Amino acid sequence: MREVIRALLVSLWFVFLTFPILVIKVDTINDIIVWRWMNSLYIGLGVLLLQGIWHAWRHLRTLRKEDRERDTIAWIVLVCLPVLWLAWVATRNTQKPLHPADRVLMLLVAPLWLVDYLRSPAKREPQWHDWPCMILFPPSLLVRGYFALFRKGGEKVSIPGVEQPSLMQVMLENQKAMRPLYLLILILAACYPQMVEFYQTNIMVNFMIWIVLGLGLNIVIGLAGLLDLGFVAFYAVGAYAYALLNHHFGLSFWYVLPIGMVLGAVCGLLLGYPVLRLRGDYLAIVTLGFGEIIRLVLENWSSFTHGPSGISNIDRPPFVTDLSIMQATEYMYYIMLGLLLLTIFVVTRLKNSRIGRAWLALKEDEIACQAMGIDKTKTKLAAFALGATWAGLVGVVFAAKTTFINPMSFTLMESIIILSIVVVGGMGSIPGVITGALVLILVPEWLRGVEEYRMLAFGAFMVMVMVFRPQGLVSARRKVYQYDKAKAVSAHE
Amino acid sequence: MDYFLELFFGGLTRGSIYALIALGYTMVYGIIELINFAHGEIYMIGAFTGLIVAGVLGTLGFPMLGILFVALACAVIWSAAYGYTVEKIAYKPLRNAPRLSPLISAIGMSIFLQNYVLLAQTSDFLPFPQLTPDLAFMGPLKSFVSTSELFIIGSTALVCVGLTLFIKYTRMGKAMRATAQNRKMAMLVGIKVDKVISATFVIGSALAAVGGVLIASHIGQINFYFGFIAGVKAFTAAVLGGIGSVPGAMLGGLILGWTEAFATGYVSSDYEDVFAFALLVLILIFRPEGILGKDSTQKV
Amino acid sequence: MNKPALDVRGLCMDFGGLRALNKVDLEVRQGEIAALIGPNGAGKTTFFNCITGIYAPTEGDIHVLPDGENRVRINGRKPNHVTELGMARTFQNIRLFPSMTVLENVMIGRHCRNRSSILGAVLRDGHTRRQEDEVISRSYEMLELVGLERWANELATNLPYGAQRRLEIARAMATEPFLLLLDEPAAGMNPQETRRLKDLIDHIRETYHIAVLLIEHDMKMVMSVSDRIYVMDYGQRIAAGSPEEVSKNPEVIKAYLGEDADD
Amino acid sequence: MTSPILELRSIDTYYGKIQALYGVDISINEGEIITLIGANGAGKSTTLMSICGVTPPRKGQVFFQGRDITRTSAEAIVAQGICQVPEGRLIFPGLTVTENLDMGAFLRNDRNGIRQDMERVFELFPILAERRRQAGGTLSGGEQQMLAIGRALMARPKLLLLDEPSMGLAPLVVRQIFDIIVQINKEEGTTIFLVEQNANLALKIGHRGYVMENGVITMEDDCATLLADDSVKKAYLGL
Amino acid sequence: VGCGEQKKEETAAGQGTEEAASEETVAEPAGEIVLGVPGAHSGDLASYGLPTVNAAELVAEKINAEGGVLGRMVKVVAQDDECKPEKATNAATKLLSEGVHVVLGHICSGATKAALPIYTETRIVCMSPSATNPPLTQSGDYPNFFRTIASDDAQAQLGVDFAKKIGLTTIAVIHDKGDYGKGFASFARDFVEADPDMNVVLFEGVTPGAVDYSAVVQKIKNSGADGVIFGGYHPEASKIVSQMRKKDLDLPFISDDGVKDDTFIKVAGEYAEGVYASGPRDISGNPLYQVALDAHKAKYGTEPGAFFYEAYSAALALLNAIEKAGSTDYDAVVNALRTEYVDTPVGKIKFDAKGDAEGVGFSMYQVQDGEYVELQ
Ligand SMILES: Nc1ncnc2c1ncn2[C@@H]1O[C@H](COP(=O)(O)OP(=O)(O)OP(=O)(O)O)[C@@H](O)[C@H]1O
Ligand SMILES: Nc1ncnc2c1ncn2[C@@H]1O[C@H](COP(=O)(O)OP(=O)(O)OP(=O)(O)O)[C@@H](O)[C@H]1O
Ligand SMILES: CC(C)C[C@H](N)C(=O)O
Ligand SMILES: [Mg+2]
Ligand SMILES: [Mg+2]
């Protein structure tokens, strides 16, 4: 009973809270005031419902505390609810504009990517080739089943006393089981443009660009622990390097690709050097400032950068024959896939190397690190430079792909999104970054159908992920060093 | 000389605006080490609440000054309520989470609140009635400071002094300082940490609301995006002054305001932000903890 | 055996108006175990911080002699240089890398004895691989030395307090020092654990022939393990000598030990 | 003796999924000094934190003066008169020594009393008086420890929980601290729950003692008896 | 690889097959005409993009109520591009996958430039109500691009001529650093400088969204300018004008059609009096203007926002062209756009070979007694 009263009070609180903004709509231009009392009702009921779900969830949690895996519930919430909702939507006539009641529900359920699929195409029948991308990405059930098979096969590194590794961790640590899956993903990725529409290929290229950006920032922030809010600056440097070199000197994509990387790295060093002394959030604001400075220069230095009107007609990567836009995008897709694999490879190697360890240690305790003989300056600069390299690289790709760039693409919001990709996905984890980009770039893109509520849901989703999985969707996994005495002895000799 | 003075007062106004918003940042940061990205949105919501109340009262034919006070009061109440709720939903569950998680949560909240207002109200700019009366004695000074600017400068100064005293001398202020230093230990000396944090959010949000209404009434228009840039600038000001320090926020805001005003006046407004950020970098290089920030070097 | 390893002359350190170290002279010889004792706030930790480069001393000279012959002045050097020269320390308030594994903590100690480049890390060539193997095996050896090998893949933060102290020692040992600086290694240990620690220190000196400079408040341990003791009070050196001499020194008794020195 | 002032009834405490305490029973009578000894990681600090509500037990109950405080929040428990000197010198690093001490008296309102108590602390630890205006974080390890103890004294608690108060202190000061403990116990009747590694001293001043191993209480007796016990001697006294 | 491959080849093959593709979709029961409306619908520029969606919806509703185009219903598909080039390409390709027939958008010139190659290659007509950057039409790169708004240079010319007419000699040119504002301002500067009698004493950009502009205002005052030309939108314009007037700086203020918006007058209030702004000729006398306005008020209860009338006009023009062409065939539609006049809120228009609207005719307006009055 007390629970019910509490729930009612909470609902009332929200009714109160949303009263001026949701209920009264003033139009000071015409002095019109519209009262929308129904909104209060929706909010009240919506919040009640939410609390109901919340309590149910809590109840479930306590029911099977011992043998429960937290992920199960998380996946239920993330997968089943949207599916239920979807069923509900599917039974309605979706042509009509959204009913306010829908809106409340929209607030509640964020990952609605399937909605788009059912709603948007005017009259397209579902076709078989739409499925691979669906099967590929919402992995819950399939992956579960798959790993149920492999559970025992792979050796599970369990550290006594550490929290039970989550499903994702088990999954990722289970290398043996992962290998065929990786292969499958790779094959699917290679075939992907052949199976789907132009649009899907196009957004996949963007998706991969964001992954690489995320991986780059992941070096700086996830590995070395340096909070960088101006990462997009390096991206801009790469993009403008290609745009300008191409525009003025006609240099081709392939020449500028390494130039972009080097420029990115150099800028990383330039930024890194003066700010090394700063810690934590001070670093954040300075990097934010740096990002803004770069953007402002791009905007204001018209004679050099063409200012806000940007640079158009940038060449796409050359190919033996002329390509149509679709083919060029497909070509771009494969180039980007290659670069992505390269990035993953290099970042993995770095992470598990001497310098990767130094970064991690630096993140945890700078003073102890120095006392152990690690050169703070060099190590941090290396992180800045190596992170920026990738941003410079994909900057070039970006310019070549859109064929037009202007400073609009390099605002603070972009930096924030990259940061969110890293943190939402799980700091320091490569699959994490991919997951982060998936939920923050690809899913909103797929959600285009629900236009108006997209950003609202996006914000709510970010909050929800953090509240329910503060460490990110995929926790970082670290190489476990095994000591093999026999081998070591021979290595010594 | 006149030109200099004009720029000086322009910078002073701008700086006061930054400072007023920066206070909320600094308080929240001081206590839970969180860059509260949603603070700019709270400020925006304050302004919207003020606008809505002013609109409703305007049609009822209230006197101007009456509207100002009621609008301010309502803005303060609702902003505080939003601040409180946001903290409970998005930050409280993350007390022991990795350091960046609440930051992302704050960014999510910021995006959410922006779009919430966008959808519930409108995407267009709405004119904001001028609520501050034009004081007669200000006439001759008009080219330096207008009345609404005076209001902003005055209330910033007032709030800043008040807040400094509050933190220094009241029990709640004492509890805030302790909580900021070490949350576990604060609990162990009997401080109600949750309440203190809530109170911080409530106070910070209330200040933002005051700023929102005054500034909106000064500028004369608002839209849902109105908090974002101001928020970033205010955050910069807070860091410049030494984050966590109330006088620092004030000082940082003023320095930022003056830099921008003089950069515009004597160089070019094209690069005003470049100057602002370059100054920030410079100052932080020489004083990594901000102008009035406490040296946080730890003993080993 | 009696070549000097560390030679500090006239070291002063000011914090604002507070003089935490006042003209401190101190010498540690190769292979000896020296102890630095004194009341709380005497400046012992500050001394460590000065000679390891964490603070820049206001005055005075600090020389290290890695091989007993060549003097290197290290005033104002960065901590990582000092460590590279061969002086490694532990901290009074434990400073491990809490969310790295025990083995990784020690591997960090190997960092400065290694020269694999970033390119090497990416390409993972033979040289880099060999070095990595060497890092692992040497680190493991250090864990065996302090008896933590069975915890190797445990996160450092999950170790009991005493084990964390030993891990700090292992990490410092991994940097191949000629002089090991220990700041209150026995704090928070019970008498039995303290005794095991003493054995460990003895063992380290024996096996690796390195010098140890030790700050400690546990007199039983200090008296039994050290060859020579320096006593500080209010930033000044008030006594130096063998354990017997020091424990009889009236000034030391008054300032530090109290009437019945051995409890 | 009267009914116990504090009673733990078979509490289980967890850190996340790790269990640190297994059915711990402890009871403390008013005016007693109770000593708890045990190896590193036995769960001594966890016991104190469980009493204070910082890591509330998942099972079992804690009674203070006959009231169930198991689910009470930490600050409310403090308000009832339990005060703790936590392990690891948890002081407020940015506040000065005086401010730190002042925080200890956060729940008190008698200005004069507070001032007197502050003077008393400065008398007990003269070095703190010298460092009055210095930030707590820059004090030496031992000074911080003294500050933490001083701050707890400022609260004038009914029950004082001390977690390894002698850690990092010079021998002279250690003895002094133990004298103070006995003194406030005698003069003010403060009940004391002492966790110590320096078992020898702790058992000497304590009335009754508990021994903890791996989260379980294995022994409970008068301190004198424990001091004489062979297994205790071997394991904790280093004899 | 099955039908996916097939479909892609179709679209890739270009010419003619587009029609086949649309035939295919026409064969579906609904048989709608899909009107894509990409633009900034979220983020800081949403206020420029959302009115276009409203306009498209209103036109579609109206036309559907009258029986549709060629008997087919019009369906509006909005896509958000946040004015960002990369999002614009996503929006464009998404529209393609939705079988779009004509596109009303994008809003920003930058986004438009990024998306246009896609429409050009797939032969889809694209008409923007707001992208004013001159090269979009003048470069000749985009035969499928049209717009119902004057390009920056045309308006700048008008503004500068007007300044000369009212006798200004020293001019401060201010802009909002944006694509549109800076474009307009640069042209204005060039035109002023080309005139021997006039010169530019100040050329500055202000930061949009900044909390106040007093420093710039002081600078204008200090520069000794006798007139201000501003390139940008009404939020900035009203802030600058208000601050100028508050500081007793009563210089003539000449601006573009980003400012010729009733919101400007409401926001700036009394300070708006006397401000000049260029815009399509004689618009409020147009009956269709009233229709559009009333429809908006009826449906959304508010005044329409930026570019609403241009968008409304563009939607009418596009659908009219389809009607006239008798199909959604690209060449036919383009031809119809270039030859057939259509009545719209901005006037009776058709498009020239480059894609700019003919018949819009720009003239200068001044705010008098809280209303924009056309000056002869
Ligand atoms: N950064 C600093 N700023 C100001 N004073 C400092 C600083 N560091 C140390 N001190 C002061 O210098 C004195 C010496 O401190 P130090 O830590 O060296 O003492 P210690 O001998 O290690 O004592 P303990 O045995 O208690 O650890 C102390 O009084 C301390 O307050
Ligand atoms: N924050 C924590 N998270 C996880 N496990 C913890 C945490 N704190 C303590 N533990 C574990 O709980 C157990 C009990 O620890 P506790 O600190 O209570 O021991 P203790 O008896 O006080 O030891 P010490 O003498 O070292 O202070 C230990 O195994 C320890 O590893
Ligand atoms: C919405 C505006 C920024 C569009 C502007 N007219 C342009 O050409 O880009
Ligand atoms: Mg010390
Ligand atoms: Mg303990």
CA C160 to ligand 2 centroid distance, Å: 6
Query: What is the distance in angstroms between the Cα of A33 and the nearest Cα belonging to chain E?
Result: 10
Handedness of CA A306, A308, A309, A315 (dihedral sign): positive
Instruction: Tell if the CB–CB gap between D106 and B184 is shorter than 8 Å.
Output: no
User: Is C206 part of a structural domain of the chain?
Assistant: yes
Shortest-distance atom of ligand 3 to CA E112: 9
Ligand index nearest the alpha carbon of residue C188: 2
Average pLDDT over every residue of D19-29: 90
DSSP assigned state of B152:
H
Judged against a pLDDT cut of 90, whether residue B198 lies above it is answered with yes
> Residue E123, Cα to own-chain centre: how many angstroms?
21
Measure the CA–CA gap between D171 and C220, rounded to whole angstroms: 10
What's phi and psi for C190, nearest 5 deg? -85, 165
Closest listed residue to residue D38, CA positions, set C189, B245, E90: C189
Distance spanning both ends of chain A, measured CA to CA: 75
Same domain, C201 and C249: yes
Tokens matching residue C121: 């890390």
Measure the CA–CA gap between B219 and B212, rounded to whole angstroms: 10
Measured between CB atoms, does A32 come within 8 Å of chain E? yes
Average pLDDT over every residue of B166-191: 87
User: If phi over 0 gives left and psi between -120 and 50 gives alpha, with beta otherwise, what is residue D86?
Assistant: beta
Judged against a pLDDT cut of 50, whether residue E5 lies above it is answered with no
Q: Given pLDDT bands bounded at 50, 70 and 90, which one contains residue E25?
A: very low
Kind of pairing, strands E342-344 and E347-351? Answer: antiparallel
Q: Domain D1-81+193-238: which CATH class?
A: alpha beta
Measure the CA–CA gap between B19 and B25, rounded to whole angstroms: 10
Ligand index nearest the alpha carbon of residue E48: 3
Measure the CA–CA gap between B164 and B46, rounded to whole angstroms: 23
Preferred mutation among C97, C129, C168, C181 to probe A, highest tally of A CBs within 10 A: C97
The three-state secondary structure class of D216 is strand
- pTM comes to 0.87
Number of Cβ atoms within 10 Å of the Cβ of A182: 11
Domains of chain B: 1-286 (1.10.3470)
User: Is C91 part of a structural domain of the chain?
Assistant: no
Asked if C90 contacts C181 with a C-beta cutoff of 8 angstroms, the reply is yes
pLDDT score for A73: 52
Same domain, C82 and C181: yes
Domain segments of chain D as ranges: 1-81+193-238
Pocket test of ligand 2: the residue of D15, D49, D217 to mutate, having most ligand atoms within 8 Å of its CB, is D15
Residues 20-59 in C contacting B (C-alpha not used; CB under 8 Å): 45, 49, 54
Place of tokens 């979807």: A86
Which residue in chain E has the smallest CA separation from A327? E12
Out of C155, C174, C193, a domain closes at C174
User: How far is CA D159 from each of CA A270, D80, D122, rounded to the nearest angstrom?
Assistant: 58, 9, 22
Closest listed residue to residue D147, CA positions, set A239, D130, A117: D130
Asked if C259 contacts C67 with a C-beta cutoff of 8 angstroms, the reply is no
What's phi and psi for A261, nearest 5 deg? -60, -45
The three-state secondary structure class of A380 is helix
Buried b (16+ CB within 10 A) or exposed e, B238-266: bbbbbbbbbbbbbbbbbbbbbbbbbbbbe
The three-state secondary structure class of E305 is coil
The three-state secondary structure class of D169 is coil
Judged against a pLDDT cut of 60, whether residue E234 lies above it is answered with yes
Neighbouring residues of C72: CB distance < 8 A, sequence distance ≥ 6: C63, C64, C65, C66, C85
Judged against a pLDDT cut of 70, whether residue E369 lies above it is answered with yes
Same domain, C28 and C157: no
Preferred mutation among E18, E37, E41, E90 to probe A, highest tally of A CBs within 10 A: E90
Ligand index nearest the alpha carbon of residue D140: 1
Q: What is the pLDDT along chain A (493 residues), one digit of tens a residue?
A: 788 888 889 889 988 888 888 888 887 777 778 888 888 888 888 888 888 777 776 766 565 444 444 445 555 555 565 566 555 554 444 444 444 444 444 433 333 334 334 433 333 344 333 333 343 334 444 444 444 444 433 333 333 333 444 455 555 555 666 677 778 778 878 877 777 778 888 888 999 999 999 999 999 998 888 888 889 999 999 999 999 999 888 888 888 999 999 999 999 998 888 887 787 778 888 888 889 889 888 888 888 888 888 888 888 888 777 777 788 888 889 999 999 999 999 998 888 888 888 998 988 888 888 888 888 888 999 999 999 999 999 999 999 988 888 888 898 889 999 999 998 888 888 888 988 888 888 877 776 665 667 788 888 888 988 888 888 887 766 666 766 654 544 444 3
Half-sphere exposure of A321 (CA within 13 A, CB side): 3
Same domain, C145 and C76: no
| Chain mean pLDDT for chain A | 75
Alpha helices in C52-125 (DSSP H): 79-85, 102-110, 118-123
Measure the CA–CA gap between A262 and B134, rounded to whole angstroms: 58
Measure the CA–CA gap between A231 and A420, rounded to whole angstroms: 12
CA C186 to ligand 3 centroid distance, Å: 71
User: Is A160 part of a structural domain of the chain?
Assistant: no
Measured between CB atoms, does B10 come within 8 Å of chain E? yes
User: Can you count the helices (H) and strands (E) in chain D?
Assistant: 10, 10
CB distance C157 to ligand 2 below 6 Å? no
Rounded to 5°, the CA angle B25-B260-B230 comes to 35
User: If phi over 0 gives left and psi between -120 and 50 gives alpha, with beta otherwise, what is residue A13?
Assistant: alpha
Cis peptide before E106 (omega within 30 of 0): yes
Neighbouring residues of B96: CB distance < 8 A, sequence distance ≥ 6: none
Which protein residue has the closest C-alpha to ligand 1 atom 7? Answer: D138
Q: For a pLDDT cut of 90, what percent of chain E falls above it?
A: 8
Residues recorded for chain C: 263
Q: What one-letter code names the amino acid at E345?
A: P
Asked if E185 contacts E173 with a C-beta cutoff of 8 angstroms, the reply is yes
Count of domains forming chain A: 1
Which residue in chain A has the smallest CA separation from B84? A17
CB distance D88 to ligand 2 below 6 Å? no
Is the pair D, E in contact (3+ CB pairs within 8 Å)? no
Residues 395-454 in A contacting B (C-alpha not used; CB under 8 Å): 412, 416, 419-420, 423-424, 427, 452-453
Kind of pairing, strands D4-15 and C87-89? Answer: unpaired
Instruction: Tell if the CB–CB gap between D18 and A161 is shorter than 8 Å.
Output: yes
**What pLDDT digit, counting tens, does each position of A192-237 carry?**
777 777 888 888 899 999 999 999 999 999 888 888 888 999 999 9
CB distance C20 to ligand 1 below 6 Å? yes
Residues 122-151 in A contacting E (C-alpha not used; CB under 8 Å): 122-124, 127-129
Out of C174, C197, C224, a domain closes at C174
Number of Cβ atoms within 10 Å of the Cβ of D192: 22
Domain of C248?
A: 1-86+177-262
- Which chains does chain B touch, 3 or more C-beta pairs < 8 A? A, C, D, E
Same domain, C66 and C107: no
Beta bridge partners of E199: E170
Q: Residue A152 burial (CB < 10 Å; 0-12/13-18/19+)?
A: exposed
**What pLDDT digit, counting tens, does each position of B105-162 carry?**
999 999 999 989 988 887 778 888 888 777 766 666 666 777 888 888 899 999 989 9
DSSP assigned state of E226:
S
Q: What is the arrangement of strands in the sheet containing C59-64, beginning at the earlier edge strand?
A: C18-29, C4-15, C59-64, C72-73
| Chain mean pLDDT for chain E | 82
Pocket test of ligand 2: the residue of D35, D44, D218 to mutate, having most ligand atoms within 8 Å of its CB, is D44
Domain of A332?
A: 199-468
Rounded to 5°, the CA angle E16-E18-E24 comes to 115
Preferred mutation among B189, B243, B294 to probe D, highest tally of D CBs within 10 A: B189
CB distance E108 to ligand 3 below 6 Å? yes
pLDDT score for E19: 41
Beta bridge partners of D18: D15
User: How far is CA E203 from each of CA B258, E182, E237, rounded to the nearest angstrom?
Assistant: 21, 10, 15
Asked if A425 contacts A270 with a C-beta cutoff of 8 angstroms, the reply is no
User: Is A33 part of a structural domain of the chain?
Assistant: no
| Chain mean pLDDT for chain B | 86
Q: For a pLDDT cut of 90, what percent of chain B falls above it?
A: 25
The CATH number of residue A367's host domain is 1.10.3470
Measure the CA–CA gap between D193 and D28, rounded to whole angstroms: 8
Tokens matching residue C191: 């008498």
Place of tokens 């609520």: B131
Which protein residue has the closest C-alpha to ligand 3 atom 4? Answer: E108
The CATH number of residue C36's host domain is 3.40.50.300
Instruction: Tell if the CB–CB gap between D95 and B178 is shorter than 8 Å.
Output: yes
User: Is C219 part of a structural domain of the chain?
Assistant: yes
Same domain, C165 and C183: no
Out of C144, C174, C204, a domain closes at C174
Rounded to 5°, the CA angle B247-B251-B256 comes to 150
Tokens matching residue E353: 């070979």
Residues 14-43 in D contacting A (C-alpha not used; CB under 8 Å): 16-18
Q: For a pLDDT cut of 70, what percent of chain E falls above it?
A: 91
User: Is C6 part of a structural domain of the chain?
Assistant: yes
Measure the CA–CA gap between D98 and D221, rounded to whole angstroms: 40
CB distance D45 to ligand 2 below 6 Å? yes
Neighbouring residues of B82: CB distance < 8 A, sequence distance ≥ 6: A17, B42, B45, B113, B205
Shortest-distance atom of ligand 1 to CA C43: 18
**What pLDDT digit, counting tens, does each position of C178-219 carry?**
999 999 898 878 888 888 889 999 998 888 888 999 999 888
Average pLDDT over every residue of B230-246: 87
Count of domains forming chain C: 2
**What pLDDT digit, counting tens, does each position of E218-229 carry?**
888 888 888 899
Closest listed residue to residue A281, CA positions, set A214, A226, A237, A329: A226
Instruction: Tell if the CB–CB gap between B219 and E239 is shorter than 8 Å.
Output: yes
DSSP assigned state of D14:
E
CA E105 to ligand 3 centroid distance, Å: 11
